[in-house]
Amino acid sequence: MARPRAADVLGRVTLVTGPEEFLAERTVRTVIDAVRTADAEADVTQVDGAELGSGAFSELTSPSLFSTSRVVVVRQVQDAPEEPVAGLLRYAESPDDDLALVVVHPGGQKGRGVVDKLRKIGVVEVKSETPKQYELPRFVTAEVQAEGGSIGEEAAAALVDAIGPDLRALSAAGGQLTHDSGGEPITVDVVRRYFGGRAEVKSFAVADAAIGGDPARSLEQLRWAMGNGVAPVLMTSAFASGLRALARYVSAPRGLKDNDLAREVGVPPWKLRTLRTQARGWSQTGLAAAIKAVARADAEVKGAADDADHALERMVLAVTGARTTR
């Protein structure tokens, strides 16, 4: 929702839905700000659905002696008892011109009935969906621009890598960088200076890097993952399943259609492209050696060796080393 004006929200019901709490909160904030800008004296009441007693709703929406415009925010509407909900729906049919009502529903099945009825009445709905992983850099860019700064695509991606998918943290970091950079565009170097490290490294990223033949990157990611508390067992199982798919791929019959090939190999079709790239540079002997190394490492992290981290590092090196074995 672009920045609304008071006229956009007063006399309306704004329904905020979706699981992303940070975005929902922000929407609520913009409504309150819009009304406050127009009328600094505006009365703002915020309640949780569970707190609504009988008659509470009409009390909330009745005119006030002290201010003309008012904002009422009902959060967690799914917890509200029946009676106030009925009052809410009646109100939504004929809203008051001096009142902005915001109803927040965090998604899920509970309270779906109220949401559907409100939709039918035709209230303004703002959805706060959790952005997909690939949308996160765009989110960072928008945040920084909103703060009056600018950030390159690469730098935004680096920031996401470093912080992870938590929107609140991303937004705060974007704001901080904008203020500290003093108007200069935020570069990758700046991001690195403030936010070293990686928030989350999946075991599959480590395996993919190793199978793709990049020992340095794989080892780096491995260290991050271990530092973040990924269980060593997950690491060996990611390697095992990666190599297993590759082993099936390289000895699958030639000339199959993609869908049949995917079934033969036992992976989803989109994975075939990765496998095709990875398969270059792997011989059968090399793969066999790699799988055996992973089996050894699996035994080691389960107690056959003293140091699981060392066992995993050796495994990464063994796998990347086996890749060139012809």
Binding residue for other proteins, selected from 254, 257, 303, 306, defined by CB under 8 A = 303
Binding residue for other proteins, selected from 29, 276, 302, 310, defined by CB under 8 A = 302
Residue ranges in 79-108 that form contacts with other proteins under rule CB under 8 A: none
Binding residue for other proteins, selected from 45, 176, 259, 284, defined by CB under 8 A = 284
| Torsion angle (degrees, nearest 10) of CA 250, 254, 255, 260 | -60
Residue 233 in tokens: 């067992």
| Torsion angle (degrees, nearest 10) of CA 242, 244, 245, 251 | 140
Residue 44 CA: distances (Å) to CA of 10, 29, 64, 97: 13, 11, 11, 15
In the bound complex, what is the minimum distance in angstroms from residue 117's beta carbon to other proteins?
37
Residue number with CB closer to other proteins (174 or 242): 242
Give me the residue label for tokens 């704001």.
Answer: 175
End-to-end Cα, the chain, rounded Å: 58
The reply to whether 275 sits near other proteins by the rule CB under 8 A is no
Residue number with CB closer to other proteins (14 or 236): 236
- Cβ atoms 13, 94 nearer than 8 A: no
Residue 8 in tokens: 């956009």
Binding residue for other proteins, selected from 165, 288, 317, 321, defined by CB under 8 A = 288
Residue number with CB closer to other proteins (188 or 288): 288
Residue 128 in tokens: 């706060």
Residue number with CB closer to other proteins (71 or 315): 315
Determine the interface stretch with other proteins among 31-39, 82-90, 237-245, 306-314 (rule: CB under 8 A): 237-245
The reply to whether 56 sits near other proteins by the rule CB under 8 A is no
The reply to whether 234 sits near other proteins by the rule CB under 8 A is no
- Cβ atoms 124, 15 nearer than 8 A: yes
In the stretch 179-218, what mask flags binding to other proteins with x, by CB under 8 A? ----------------------------------------
The reply to whether 299 sits near other proteins by the rule CB under 8 A is yes
Cα Rg for the chain, rounded, in angstroms?
27
Determine the interface stretch with other proteins among 110-118, 127-135, 240-248, 255-263 (rule: CB under 8 A): 240-248
Q: For residue 13, what is the enclosing H or E element?
A: strand 12-17
Binding residue for other proteins, selected from 26, 295, 314, 317, defined by CB under 8 A = 295
In the bound complex, what is the minimum distance in angstroms from residue 297's beta carbon to other proteins?
10
- How far apart are the C-alpha atoms of 52 and 56, rounded to whole Å? 6
Binding residue for other proteins, selected from 237, 274, 314, 321, defined by CB under 8 A = 237
Determine the interface stretch with other proteins among 40-48, 107-115, 206-214, 242-250 (rule: CB under 8 A): 242-250
* Nearest Cα to Cα of residue 283 among 247, 315, 238, 318: 247
Angle at 279 between CA 242 and CA 263, to 5 degrees: 60
Kindly report the length of the chain. 326
Give me the residue label for tokens 């002997």.
Answer: 285
Residues lying near other proteins in the complex (CB under 8 A):
236-237, 240, 244, 247-248, 250-252, 284-285, 287-288, 291-292, 294-296, 298-299, 302-304
